[in-house]
Structure 1
Amino acid sequence: MIGVGVVGTGFWARMTHLPAFRTIEGFELKAVASGNQVNADKAAEQFNIPVAHENYLALVKDPNVQVVDICTPNNLHVDIAIAAFAEGKDVICIKPLATSLADAYRMVNEAEKRGCKLYYAENVPFIPALAKLKELIDASLYGPLFRFKACEGIGSLHASWFSDPERAGGGSIIDMAVHGMSFLQWMAAGKKAVKLYAEAGTFVHRQKAEDTSVIVIRFEDGSIGQTEDSWSLAGGYDSRFEVFGTKGHALVDLLYQHPIRSVTGSSAEGGATVSQLHPVDEHFVKDGHLNMMTHFRDCIRDGKVCRSEGAEGFEIMEWVDAAYRSMQTGVPVLFK
C-alpha cells in the first residue's frame, strides 16, 4: 500500500482528493494536516484517517507517509514540496505548481536533485470525455488540427484567499486558465509555443486580480490555441472544449449527457457534412480525478511513464507568467 499524507482540508481536498485516495485500491490515507487543527481533526474523522498532524512539517516527517499530496493555497505549495523532497517523499501537487515561475522551477529542480517524483495534479487530460476525444483525434477523424480552444468559467470564487494575489499568485488566469492551457498543451502534442497574447480585466468582483481573460497561443507548426476563462460567468459554470481540423470539428460540452459532437466532411469541397454524437462509456464524464490519481498510483507502484509531472506543470507556469506579462504590456510575448 502507498501511504498518503494530505496537506490541506479545504473544499477541493474534501470534494476530490480525499475521496479519490479513499476509493482507489493501492492508496491508504495515513495522515492529514491543516493550518487549522480543528479542520484537520474533522477531515481525519470524516475520512477515517489515523493521524491529524498540527502542521505540514510534522506530516512530511511521518514515517508512514510515502507520498505528500498538496491541496493548499498556492503560495504554500513550494515550501511544502521542498520540505517533502528533503524527507525523500514523492509529491502530488494541485494546480498551479506555485505562485511564480521561479518557485515552480525550484520545485522541479529540487525533486530532480533529491531523486523524488513531482506529480502535477491537473485533471483535464484525464477527463473521460476528453480522453475519448483524443482517441478520435489520434484516429485522424478530424485530420491535422490547426486550432483548439477551451472555455472554463465559474460565477464566484471558491474561497476568499483566491482574491488575494499574494496568496493566489494572480486571479482567474492562474486559477482557471491553467485548465484551458492544459488542454492546449495536450492538443499541441509536444509542439512548442512560440507566441502568447493575453487580454484580461476585472469586471464583476471587487478585487485586485483579474476575473476574466482571453489568451491566444501560437505553436511552432502554426496551429492556434485559445482559452477563455473567468470567475465572472453569469449562471455559474462553463466547461467546453473544441478542436478544428482539416477534415472536421468537434465540440465537447461537459454539461450534457452526450458531450462529444463531431462534424466531418467539407461542404466547401462538395463533400457530405456528417454530424454525429460520440457516447462515452464512463458514467461520470465530467471529472478526471479518479483516473488521474489511479494513473499516479500506477506510476508510483509500477513505474508507469507519467503523463502529468512537474515538467508539464512548469510549462503551464511559463505560459501563466507570459500571460501576465502580456496583460501588463499589451503586447504578445515571444518564447525563445
Structure 2
Amino acid sequence: MSATRRLGVGVLGAHAWAEHAHLPGFAAYERCRRVAICDVVPERARALAERFGFERVYADAREMLADPEVEMVDVCTPTGTHRELAGAALAAGRHVLCEKPLALSAADAFGLARLAAEKGLRTKVGFTFRYSAALKQVKRWIEDGTIGEIFHVHGFQQNSQFLDPNFPLRQYDTEDPDGPLVPASIVGYGSHLVDLLRWLAGDFRAVSALMRNFVPERMVRGKEGLRRVPIDDGTVAAVDFRSGAQGVIQTSFIAIGNYPGIEIRIYGSKVAVVARLVTEFGVAETLHLARAGEVEFRPVELSADRYPPGTDVRTPWRELYYRQLARDWTDEILDEGPAENTFLDGAMSQQMVDAVVLSHRERRWVDLSEMPS
C-alpha cells in the first residue's frame, strides 16, 4: 500500500445523504484527497466543502468532470439523475461510485456496466450495508464452509418512516391517484436487500411477489394537503435461488421499528445466523449464531479491528458503514485490488427489482432469464 498516493475525489450532490454518510467517509480516510463538491445550489456545496475540507466548489457537473484532479466521481444526487451523471462521469474517464439505483430500469443499468467495462474504469454502488462488519463475517462463514449448504435465506426491512400520513413523502413520478401501483419500498430499500441476498447466497432463478399500498392518502413534499399517492408501502416476495435455496424478501415503509432496520437470516446445514443491522439502545448491529443440534442462538462479538479506525459498534450506522465503504473503494482503486460491488452488481439488483414489479403486475412467477440483461 502506497503511503503517499491519494485519490482525488469529486462529489456530485450536497444533500442530506452526502452530508451524513458520503462526505464523513471520505474525510475520515487519509488516502482520499477531497478535491471538489458540485451542487446546483452553490451555497449548499460551499457550506459542506468548508465543513469537510474539500478544496473547491462547482455548480455545473460538466465543469467538475473536466477537473483533471478529480479521479473518482461520487454520484450522490436524486434517483432520476443517476444514469445521466454516472454515464457522463464514465465518458469523462473517471472511476465512479453511484448511489442506488443506478437507473430506473435494468436495461439502462446494464448499459452503464458495459460502458465502464469498455473504458476499463472501476465502479462501485452505494449498497451501504455490504460494509457491515456483521455481514462481512457472515460472508466469511459462507465461503469457508462454516454454514454448510444454504437452505433458507430471509431478508427483512423494518422502517416506519411513512406510517404517519402527515409525514411528507418524497415525490414520485405519478399524478394519477387511480393508476397502477408505483414501486417504492421495493426500490428504496428492497434494492439493498436484493443485493445482500444475492451477494451472500448467489444468483436468483425466479421470484413471485406481491406489492401493496396500506396508507392511501399522504402529504407529499412540495405540495399542500393530503393526496392519494398509489405507491407500494410494502412488498413481500418468495425467491428461488439457482443453488436451490429458498428465500423471502420483505420491504416496508410502514413496518414499526428502527430505520433502516435490516435483518438477514441464513439457515444452513451446519449453522444458522441472524445479523440485525438495527440500531437498538445505541448499538448499530448484532450477530447471533446457532449450530446444528442447538435450539438457542448465542451472540457473536466481533473484535475491534473489524470496524474502521475511530469507530465501533456504537457509531451511528450511516458513518460506520460508509467509512468502511470509502476505505474499501479507495484502496481498491489505488492498490488495483479485486473489483467488488460494481455497476454489474447494481444492474443485477435492478433486474431482480424489475422482476418483482412484473410478478406483482402479472400475478405470476417470473424467471430472471425473462428480464433484460
TM-score (norm 1): 0.90
Instruction: Provide the residue aligned with 1:262 in structure 2.
Output: 289
The residue that corresponds to 1:153 in the other structure is 158
How far apart are residue 17 of structure 1 and its match? 0.5
> Which amino acid is 1:216 matched to?
A
Query: What TM-score, normalized to structure 2?
Result: 0.81
Contact 1:73 1:161 in 2 (8 A): no
What percentage of aligned pairs have identical amino acids? 24
Q: Deviations over 1:21-61 (max 9, x none)?
A: 11112111111111222211221222122211112122111
Q: Does 1:213 align with 2:235?
A: yes
- Distance of 1:51 and 1:73 partners within structure 2: 22
* The one of 175, 182, 196 aligned to 2:207: 196
Instruction: Report the Cα distance in structure 1 between the residues aligned to 2:247 and 2:171, rounded to whole angstroms.
Output: 27
Q: Deviations over 1:63-93 (max 9, x none)?
A: 2211100011111011111211121111101
Q: Which residue of 2 aligns with 1:173?
A: 186
For 1:132 and 1:295, the matched residues in 2 are separated by: 16
Q: CA deviation at 1:236?
A: 4.2
Partner Cα distance (1:137, 1:115) in 2: 30
Structure 1 runs not aligned, ≥5 long? 267-271
- Per the alignment, residue 127 of structure 1 pairs with 132
Q: CA deviation at 1:124?
A: 2.0
Q: SS where residue 209 of structure 2 aligns?
A: strand
Which one-letter code corresponds to 2:270 in the other structure? K
After superposition, the Cα gap between the structure-2 partners of 1:312 and 1:21, relative to the gap in structure 1 and judged at 3 Å, is same
- Structure 2 partner of 1:269: none
From 85, 107, 113, the counterpart of 1:108: 113
Q: Find the residue that maps to 1:241 and give its secondary structure.
A: strand
Note if 1:284 corresponds to 2:313.
yes
Which amino acid is 1:242 matched to?
R
CA distance in 2, matches of 1:219, 1:211: 25
> Taking CA–CA contacts closer than 8 Å with sequence separation of 6 or more, which of the two structures ends up with the larger relative contact order?
2
* Cα pair 1:162 1:171 within 8 Å, conserved: no
Residue in 1 aligned with 2:336?
A: 303
Structure 2: distance between partners of 1:131 and 1:194? 24
Paired position in structure 2 for 1:249? 272
- Is the counterpart of residue 74 in structure 1 residue 79 in structure 2? yes
CA change 1:133–1:25 in 2 (3 A) is same
Any runs of at least 4 consecutive aligned residues in structure 1 with deviations exceeding 4 A, and if so which? none
In 2, Cα distance between the equivalents of 1:194 and 1:77?
27
1:15-26 equivalences under 5 Å are: 15-26=20-31
- Amino acid of the structure 2 residue aligned with 1:299: E
Is residue 7 from structure 1 mapped to residue 23 from structure 2 by the alignment? no
Question: Structure 2 CA distance, aligned partners of 1:140 and 1:165?
Answer: 45
Give yes or no for contact 1:163–1:209 (8 Å, CA) kept in 2.
Answer: no
How far apart are the structure 2 equivalents of 1:265 and 1:101? 39
CA contact (8 A) 1:90 1:117 kept: yes
Equivalent residue, structure 2, for 1:228? 250
Find out whether 1:240 has 2:263 as its counterpart: yes
- Which residue in 2 is equivalent to 1:99? 104
Q: CA distance change for structure 1 residues 9 and 42 in 2, over 3 Å: closer, same or farther? A: same
Inter-partner Cα distance in structure 2 for 1:182 and 1:199: 19
What is the identity, as a one-letter code, of the residue corresponding to 1:164?
Y
Larger deviation: 107-116 or 256-265?
Answer: 256-265
1:165-200 superposed Cα distances (whole Å, 9 cap, x missing partner)? 47xx831111100111112111223xx321111111
Residue 233 of structure 1, CA deviation: 2.2
Distance 1:279 1:170 in 2: 37
Q: Offset at 1:328?
A: 1.2
Structure 2 CA distance for aligned equivalents of residues 155 and 110 of structure 1: 38
Partners in 2 of 1:165 and 1:74 — Cα distance? 11
**1:161, 1:304 → 2: CA distance?**
40
RMSD value, Cα: 2.1
Cα offset, 1:230, TM superposition: 1.2
The residue that corresponds to 1:186 in the other structure is 199
Count of aligned pairs between the two proteins: 326
